[in-house]
Structure 1
Amino acid sequence: MFDSPETLAEALAGEDYVIDPEFAVVVHLATALERPLLLEGPAGVGKTELAKSLAAAGGRRLVRLQCYEGLDDGRALYEWDYGKQLMHVQMLRDRIGELLSGTTTMAQASARLRAEDTGLYTEDFLLPRPLLEALLSPEPVVLLVDEVDRTEESMEALLLEVLAEGQVTVPEIGTFTARSTPWVVLTSNDTRELSPALKRRCLHYQVAFPTPERETEIVSRRAPAVATDVVADVVELARRLRELPLRKSPSISEVIDASRAAAVLGLESAGESEKVRSTLLAALLKYGSDRELAIARLDGDGGAAVEVAEDSGWVRRSSRPADTTSGAFGKGRAASTGGSAGARDRARRGLR
């Protein structure tokens, strides 16, 4: 499909997916060798989006298995259409009398029924789920096994036959071999260590957050209406936030949302960033504790007003709602610094 990593990168760029040259080589090898590709890394770095863009660039249908705790083979492989089977049995009921005519004992009736093929367990009554659907598809597809680390290890064992042999075994029927070879992409957010057996059957790539320059290019492609300098400011803010010990670092999609929010509010240059400070943090951070930490660190002075209880001699910090991203955008630093110095002087006087 793709002659070279460069051809692959160009095709993905046509779907607005910007890929690093090294990453493009690994994806190209996965498609050329028809090997499963395991992508590990933090949430929001573009692992799932790669599978979507790869399907679009390759002209293939995307078949997605979203993993979660408690996922079983009935949701991943196949189920039997019990309603359809019941209707089939009702249709056969009138024929059973004819079939059993001439029998005088239960043993004879049972033996005759066993000898007949009632057709209940055939492919006609099978409901393929994503794994089997990808193998039974006459046209090649892209199979996305998303967040495989959220399942139990027993589900990993179930995947091994699909990944290594390209087949699925249904006990009542037999083995289904792939009618076409899918491109398989597995993603993991590193919430737990995957088994060596699963990793052994895949090509592997550790996806990290892109460089600011590449992330600016990504965001500009996905949010073309936003001014370039504003995109650069939002990317820089996200970079600084990712250096903090947050519960959840801003993902690329959240950076895109923040940039679009800036455009909706009419931000045309970095000098107007004060208008959307709280909106940017609302788009980038999803936990109150992360927001408080970001305000404190980005202000550069602890981000809180120090209030001194004169009678008890202890210092209490209360959240300050204003000036949240001035440190990241370089605006309003003098005002915030002056206020912080005054607060520190008051604190020192109160603690003496």
Structure 2
Amino acid sequence: MDSTGLSSNATCSLEPPHISIGVLICLVLLLGLLLNIFSLWVFMRRIPQWKPGTILQFHLAISDVIVCPLAPFLMVYFAQSEDWPFGSFMCRFKIALLTIHFYGSILFLTLISIHRYISVVYHSQDSCMKQKDFVKKLCVGVWLVVLIKGGVCLCLLDVSTVNNHTLCLSIHQRENTEVYFVMNFFLLILGFLAPFTVSLFCYIRLAKSVSSINACHQKGKLIKSKSRKTVAVCVVIFGLCFLPMNVVRTVVVVVRKYFANNCKLFYQVETAYFASWILSSANCCLDPLIYCFSSQNFTKAIYSSLRKIGARIQTPREDQEHNSALNTHITRSAGNKENNSDTR
């Protein structure tokens, strides 16, 4: 679940967030929609041969795309000062999509980390993570898990009215206090901490393995570069997008349950909660960097696509070949001139 709701104490009035919160969230989601639709198009149309890593990246892009169409609904919700006008079903549907996106992204990022770790550290050994059929089954399993999570949230959560405002997944919903408290710690441990621990282990081991790779050879340099960039982006996504939301949401549920009369403290954590929501949405825009850094075929496909629409862009290899050909041409031209002068 991407956000959580809490009860409202009678002494703490409803203070809707600033409209800028909704604007920023919508801009981030719309940018993520464009980037991931383009990524999906590249995967489906420009990369004919899929490897296990490509399959994982494709499913990560899908998990990012499914949440982006919520942008207009969220914009209206925040523009009307947290007043949900779309009814109970759409509220439940929104909650389900946010849950599927948030924890689907975490699980697919974890699988990408495991795959990269095995591919580099155990590159000479056979592994089920290097088999496309097994990876496809893993992806189906991930979708089943997140669909179950989304279905549970859809069944348990609904709209409610507070101070003449129809709230949907708001921290001011009184009747959901206990449900959100229990649900938060369940999702925190199984949905974030467990995958993050596995990913962190893979990052540390991968970093140690990469540091011992011989960088004198071109292949070694390429592996080092790709692995370091992939690890860096994954760490940034976990640290910037997923960690703040889980930490702040946990603080909010604790404050609302045990310090409900401290309105000043509640408003402070509420502000931090909305800020973490913006950061969690940014993972839609950062995930495409993983496809560029970890897949040479994806980068080549982008260059090829840009050339077809008229952009004159050369890959580093093409630049090198062009310079080599140019130098050869200059050398031959100079040799011809010398031969001509000798003939004269």
Which structure: greater helix fraction?
2
Which has the larger Rg? 1
Determine if the TM-score, normalized by the shorter chain, exceeds 0.5: no
- Normalising by structure 1, what TM-score? 0.23
- Normalising by structure 2, what TM-score? 0.23
The answer to which structure, 1 or 2, has the higher relative contact order (CA under 8 A, 6+ apart) is 2
